[in-house]
A = this chain, B = another copy of it.
């Protein structure tokens, strides 16, 4: 069904080489012939084969972006930043969604590399970093975004999770809360560890011992925020008066759970999230949260990647740590 150069050559009554030269705008063919062959190719529905062409040019003008959760509005905002920076530099972006599965992340790394994308931007969920290390070793330009991978020497653009989290707990302490729950995501993800670290640090700074029973980890999905909050409110000897959720989607689950326990946000339980997704401001109880510069995160990752593609490997990997900003809305309530 596919029209080949051979088909065009046959119809035009010229050689394969002539058609190839004409279609590639090479000088060895005269202007009139070139135009005629190009017109014929157009009419016949000829489609240059990028696979074949990619073998020659070694460049595909395509970037791969791998994210864990397209349904969490945080990641689409990052993706928009990547896309616009990429478009300005003439690159297209293939977005791949791993749905929090490390196996899927591996597959997409392999598939994108096999498709010879010029570079990769990865928001990883992997526990084991061997695949990423192999990708970097093979020389494929790669930038990590949103979360760093331990022991992997790569460019990255992340936020200062520890600091953002410290600000959240500091704010709650300032409002008079002393029993503060922590609802986190996947335990092995660096962002969870860092956000938990900030929580511990802020409590320690205030001389409040950490009650491990107040800390519940799960996934980064709303359902996990809901379930962990229900169990937290039922099991805990000292009921929390405030809950810090490690992302906004979790926080929506937390609010729903608090309400389903017959309590009110923020009157009975103050709630704070992390990310500042576009819907945080419009929630039933508008969400106090840590704003991440999501678009900038994607934009900077794309720029670093494209620079490496164009200039070759840099001597030292670039590490960008963006600054978090606490946005105070209704869900954290007034001073007690």
Contacts and interface: CB of A to CB of B under 8 A. Distances in A.
Interface of A: 1-2, 45, 47-55, 60, 62, 70-71, 73, 76-77, 79-80, 83, 87, 92-97, 99, 104, 107-108, 111, 113-116, 134, 137-139, 252, 255-256, 278-279, 282-284, 286
Contacts of A76: 70-71, 76
Number of identical monomers bound together in the oligomeric complex = 2
Contacts of A1: 138-139
Contact of A111 (B2, B62, B95, B116): B62
Contacts of A73: 71, 73
B83 A95 contact: no
Given A1-B139, A45-B134, A282-B252, A94 B94 contact: yes
20 contacts: A1-B139, A50-B111, A51-B52, A51-B55, A51-B116, A62-B111, A62-B115, A70-B80, A71-B76, A71-B77, A73-B73, A83-B97, A92-B107, A92-B108, A93-B97, A94-B96, A256-B282, A279-B282, A279-B283, A283-B284
Given A45-B137, A51-B115, 18 more contacts: A1-B138, A2-B139, A45-B138, A48-B114, A49-B55, A49-B114, A50-B111, A50-B116, A53-B114, A62-B111, A70-B70, A70-B95, A83-B99, A87-B104, A95-B97, A282-B284, A284-B284, A284-B286
B80 A47 contact: no
Contacts of A114: 47-51, 53
A47 B113 contact: yes
A146 to B, nearest CB: 16
B92 A138 contact: no
A82 to B, nearest CB: 10
Given A50-B116, A134-B45, A79 B97 contact: yes
A283 B278 CA distance: 12
A213 B279 CA distance: 30
A20 to B, nearest CB: 16
A260 to B, nearest CB: 13
A113 to B, nearest CB: 7
A313 to B, nearest CB: 9
A133 B1 CA distance: 15
Contacts of A93: 96-97
Contacts of A107: 92
Nearest to A95: B95
A107 to B, nearest CB: 7
A17 to B, nearest CB: 19
The 7 closest A-B pairs by CB, nearest first: A50-B114, A94-B94, A95-B95, A1-B139, A70-B76, A279-B279, A51-B51
Contacts of A138: 1-2, 45, 47
Contacts of A47: 113-114, 138
